[in-house]
Structure 1
Amino acid sequence: MKDFKQKPGALGQEKISFNVARLKKGGATFEIAIDPDFAVKYHEGEEDVDVKDVLRSQHIFTDVSRGLHASEEELKRVFGTDDELKVAQIILDSGEIQFTQEYREKLREKKLNRIISLIQRNAVDPTTKLPIPRSRIENAVEQLKLKVKELEPVQRQVDDFVKKMMPLFPIRLEQIVVELSIPGTYAHQSYGILKKFGEIQKETWGQDGGLVVHLEIPAGVQNDLIDELNNLCHSEVGFKIIKEV
């Protein structure tokens, strides 16, 4: 799927009251009214989202805000078809996305929170192997003036943010395998916690009902995992890192 295009300068100058996709082609302008949430999902390649989900109306406009429809003749001349659904897909794939100011702000805030959470969950200080505090990540975002790209997948932006933070402090995205020893009294109850935090690679059940498990987890969640297990098991959990992935 082709990337959406945005023109930040144009968006800053023009107050958008509708969420639209716009394409200039053949000396004319064509627009479609879009659902912004589905437009983002469509762009990010979610398999269960198609063009019909994105459209607020299946009509093609020359100006959405004024309700001016493109004629069948104009569609045939420029796109070779008057099938509005096919034309809408061309506009989505090749045109510019213009969100309302309100939606852009909400989307940026949502994506920024998600990016920070993923960095916190997956990153460690490679010199100490300890997770990076959220406050430190937030301060780095502010200090570096990192900007969220509304239409770029979050995971790609996580990698970019981490690279830009590296000159400020040691940071690396990591998966680790930990060995956990859980007393028999709490072993079965702890299973849900283990599955929530990571992927079980190996488990050994002792004759006393105790459990020794190798669990692959994002490096940044190790403290949360231990805290939750210790709350359940009254601090009787054994823990050690056995492998970095």
Structure 2
Amino acid sequence: MSKINQPTNQKRLTNVAVVRLKKAGKRFEIACYPNKVTQWRNKIETDIDEVLQTQKVFSNVSKGEFAKMADLKKAFDMDDEPEICKLILSKGELQVSEKERAAQLDGMFRDIATVVADKCVHPVTKRPYPVTMIEKSMRAMHFSIKPTKNAKQQALEVIKQLKETETLEIQRAHMKLRITVPGNEGKRVRESIRKLALQVDEDTFDDDLEMTILVDPGSYREVSDLVSVQTRGKGQVDMISLKEVQEGEETL
């Protein structure tokens, strides 16, 4: 019986998730393991071999047809297929069914709302919002999910839009810091620290400067660098709490 050989420019794969990128008038696809694409994009999975079924670029995964090298060079200005695979993995569109896509978007919507609820409070009561209230506000302002961005990145955009549209009274929960600076160095940095603080709970100076302040989480590095540089490493910044909140959840 004669043997039927599969063409060398073809490789059929099963149980595969396809990521597609159209570039220079051509379609390029890579074959990935199910559920691994999102994990790679969210930096949960870092081993590319756990994501790609093969480090080859296809013109059509379902037919097992490899992309032509000339097309790759024209579209990507290189012929390094592993690197091209990473580009497609990063920028391409994951091909899923409508049912799968809806489930993924619902899951990401919930994840984004959870991050926002964890990071934010009502600006007056300082109480956190329940996730369901964040979800309701996201729907009210018609927030559009971007599948290629992770939940944390999009949560920051949600916070920004909630403030701009005044859909919900919200602010980032403040971080509480204790700062200790010895001797004359304390006099040098005292006013600079106060300018960065949203609130000063304690400010005493005997032999050493001791301050307890609330800052926006985004200002932590600036405070830490200021104390380190201005005191030549003699000052100390300790985080008392990552977020200052009142007990209980905010209600409508």
Q: Give TM class, smaller chain.
A: 0.5 to 0.7
Question: What's the CA shift for 1:216?
Answer: 0.6
Is structure 2 residue 241 aligned with structure 1 residue 216? yes
Is structure 2 residue 114 aligned with structure 1 residue 89? no
Secondary structure in 2 matching 1:170: coil
Aligned to 1:110: 107
Q: Which digits, 9 at most, give the CA deviation of each residue in 1:13-51, with x for residues without a partner?
A: xxxx9632223345532211223533223334x285143
Aligned to 2:38: 40
Q: Give me the CA root mean square deviation.
A: 3.5
Larger radius of gyration: 2
Aligned to 2:170: 171
Amino acid at match of 1:151: T
Q: Which digits, 9 at most, give the CA deviation of each residue in 1:61-82, with x for residues without a partner?
A: 2111222223456556766766
Secondary structure in 2 matching 1:32: strand
**Residue 17 of structure 2 contacts residue 34 of structure 2 at CA under 8 Å; is this kept in 1?**
yes
Aligned to 2:150: 153
1:111–1:27 CA distance, 2 compared to 1 (3 A): closer
1:99–1:18 CA distance, 2 compared to 1 (3 A): farther
1:103–1:221 CA distance, 2 compared to 1 (3 A): farther
1:115–1:221 CA distance, 2 compared to 1 (3 A): farther
Is structure 2 residue 22 aligned with structure 1 residue 24? yes
Amino acid at match of 1:218: K
Secondary structure in 2 matching 1:128: coil
Aligned to 1:127: 124
Question: What 5-or-longer segments of structure 1 have no aligned partner?
Answer: 1-16, 179-213, 225-245
Aligned to 2:10: none
Aligned to 1:55: 52
1:222–1:23 CA distance, 2 compared to 1 (3 A): same
**Residue 141 of structure 2 contacts residue 167 of structure 2 at CA under 8 Å; is this kept in 1?**
no
Q: Moved runs in structure 1, 4+ residues, more than 6 A?
A: none
1:82–1:142 CA distance, 2 compared to 1 (3 A): closer
Secondary structure in 2 matching 1:30: strand
Question: What's the CA shift for 1:144?
Answer: 1.8
Q: Using the alignment, how far apart are the partners of 2:121 and 2:76 within structure 1?
A: 51
- Taking structure 2 as the reference length, the TM-score comes to 0.55
**Residue 175 of structure 2 contacts residue 241 of structure 2 at CA under 8 Å; is this kept in 1?**
yes
**Residue 23 of structure 1 contacts residue 91 of structure 1 at CA under 8 Å; is this kept in 2?**
yes
Question: What's the CA shift for 1:165?
Answer: 2.3
Q: Which digits, 9 at most, give the CA deviation of each residue in 1:120-179, with x for residues without a partner?
A: 22211112222223332232122222232212121121122122223123211113449x
1:30–1:115 CA distance, 2 compared to 1 (3 A): closer
**Residue 122 of structure 1 contacts residue 220 of structure 1 at CA under 8 Å; is this kept in 2?**
no
Aligned to 2:182: none
- Taking structure 1 as the reference length, the TM-score comes to 0.56
1:123–1:55 CA distance, 2 compared to 1 (3 A): same
